[in-house]
Amino acid sequence: MLRSPTLVAAIALAVVLPTTPAHAGSPPGIDIDRGETHQSIDGFGYSIAFQRSSLVHNLSERKREEVLDLLLDSRTGAAPSILRLGIGSSASTEYDKMLSIQPTDPGGPTAPPTYRWDGWDGGQVWYTKEARKRGIDRFYADAWSAPGYMKDNGDENNGGSLCGVPGVSCAGGDWREAYARYLVQYTRFYRQEGIRIDELGFTNEPDWTAPYASMRFTPAQAADFVKVLGPVARAAGVKVACCDSFGWQQSAAYAQAIESDPQARRYLDLFTGHGYASPADRQLPTTAPTWMSEWAPSSVTDGWNEAWDSGRGTDGLAVAERIHDTLALADSSAFVFWLGSSRGATAALVQVDDANDSYRVSSRLYAFAAYSRFVRPGAVRIGVDSTREGLKVSAYRNADGTEVVQIINTTDTAVTTSVDLRRPTAYRTDSTHNLEKSPGTVTGGGPHPTVTLAPRSLTTLVGDRPGRG
């Protein structure tokens, strides 16, 4: 889950010009091309799987509310619009496991199912209800593995394959249909809790064997199972997602397998990939919308790191750059971080020490929130050109007409330029500012005000709605 890929130092849409300050009447240094449109934005989110949401629940009431506001509030917190849930495959309720809704074999794939529901689901039911109170209503449920009795290795852990997919035969029979019904039943249990699961995934990193819950699918096997799950999910009103590959580039093989099979492509609603083995920095060969559905920097060497810019991969600045690349280079419609909260030496947004009723906040949360608070679901990424070296710039138009420009200054010096944005409000995120309003950042009036970007910072500019006086 927390593995360390090489970060790509890509400068999107940048043109190198002389570094003289911008002057009134000169062409804008950051020029928005409003007629150029790219992907629509579904949102930003994180995972609450493996009982991580229960850590927040374990805090005292006051601390719990504080952490919920940090992780869920749209005005002062991380402002996610997507939560990723884990579908369990374990017979155990111990921490870091996800309990199956059918922990024991019912007697074979054609036997009547013996589903069980505890209404808690490792804290995920409680957390999603808290999220809905705060206006979050998009939930993506994903399985790391089928229960062990459905697999050729008899174990939810250590890879193995689903019995019945091409090339995998088991003495117990073909479990594909039963697994499809199992996944859809999980969404029905949530529906009885008043929660709609929007997207349903059947695999997590199918190209990587983990010692925890994991299951292998080749691209051809994944395409085969999409055709099994698709009709069952569609009848239940749930969209099918695939394939959450270990790396973004590695996802291409899964995309090609599904695109080349008309029936599989018919049933695929969302294509997903992770950013570990390779970062999300290029478009994938699929006609389906794409999400970068899991990534976090490695905390193995860094430990818990709250810094914005210490030169580590877990810095807030490094996470901001990864979000930029995912949106501006890979055309992803969503950026889903790994964990919102976790214990110990973690790269989660918030560290929770439930045993001592305390928590700590990383600068990663503010890097995430700079995008998620202001680039809302239904936005579209629009064209932008930057005339300054060392800036990573992307621009968005929200459904209400507001325009947002995100600027990462990767240099060690302040940069003064101009921006093609009407009366923007500036928010600054760096080593001394946590997504705070920054009145002195923008000066001058007219169509191309001047903007001064602090060294090693993320500046979020939010322009007036068109037509406002």
The model's pLDDT over 279-321, given as tens digits with 9 standing for 90+, comes to: 999 999 999 999 999 999 999 989 999 999 999 999 999 999 9
Instruction: Give residue 445's pLDDT band: very low, low, confident or very high (50, 70, 90).
Output: confident
Sequence-separated (6 or more) residues with CB below 8 Å from residue 258: 219, 222, 223, 226, 242, 243, 264, 265, 268, 271, 286, 288
Amino acid 409: pLDDT: 98
- Dist CA 393 CA 332 (whole Å): 16
419 vs 405: CA distance, rounded Å? 9
Decide which of 264 and 17 is more confident. Answer: 264
| pTM greater than 0.85 | yes
Two structure tokens written together for 433: 């500012």
Reported as a pLDDT band with limits 50, 70 and 90, residue 1 is very low
Separation CA 451–CA 469 (nearest Å): 21
Which of the four pLDDT bands, split at 50, 70 and 90, describes residue 388?
confident
pLDDT of residue 464: 84
80, 137 contact by CB (below 8 A): no
What tokens does 185 get? 């039943």
Q: Reduced to 3 DSSP states, what percent helix, strand and coil does the chain have, rounded to the nearest 5?
A: 25, 25, 50
As to burial, measured by CB atoms within 10 angstroms (0-12 exposed, 13-18 middle, 19+ buried), residue 405 is buried
Mean pLDDT for the chain overall: 93
At residue 348, the 3 state secondary structure works out as coil
Cis peptide leading into residue 243 (ω within 30°): yes
Question: Poorest-confidence range of 157-161, 191-195, 384-388?
Answer: 384-388
- For 336-352, how does the pLDDT look when each residue is reduced to its tens digit (9 = 90+)? 999 999 999 999 999 99
What are the structural domains of the chain?
A: 43-378 (3.20.20.80)
In angstroms and rounded to an integer, the radius of gyration of the C-alpha atoms of the chain is 23
Q: What is the pLDDT of residues 198-229, one digit of tens each?
A: 999 999 999 999 999 999 999 999 999 999 99
Helix (H) and strand (E) counts for the chain? Answer: 9, 21
Can you tell me the distance from the alpha carbon of 464 to that of 469, in angstroms, rounded to the nearest whole number?
9
pLDDT given at position 28: 59
In contact, 328 and 381? CB cutoff 8 Å: yes
> Each residue of 423-434: pLDDT tens digit?
999 999 999 999
Residues 20-47 as b/e (b if ≥16 CB within 10 A, e otherwise) read eebeeeeebbbbbeeeeebbebbbbbbb
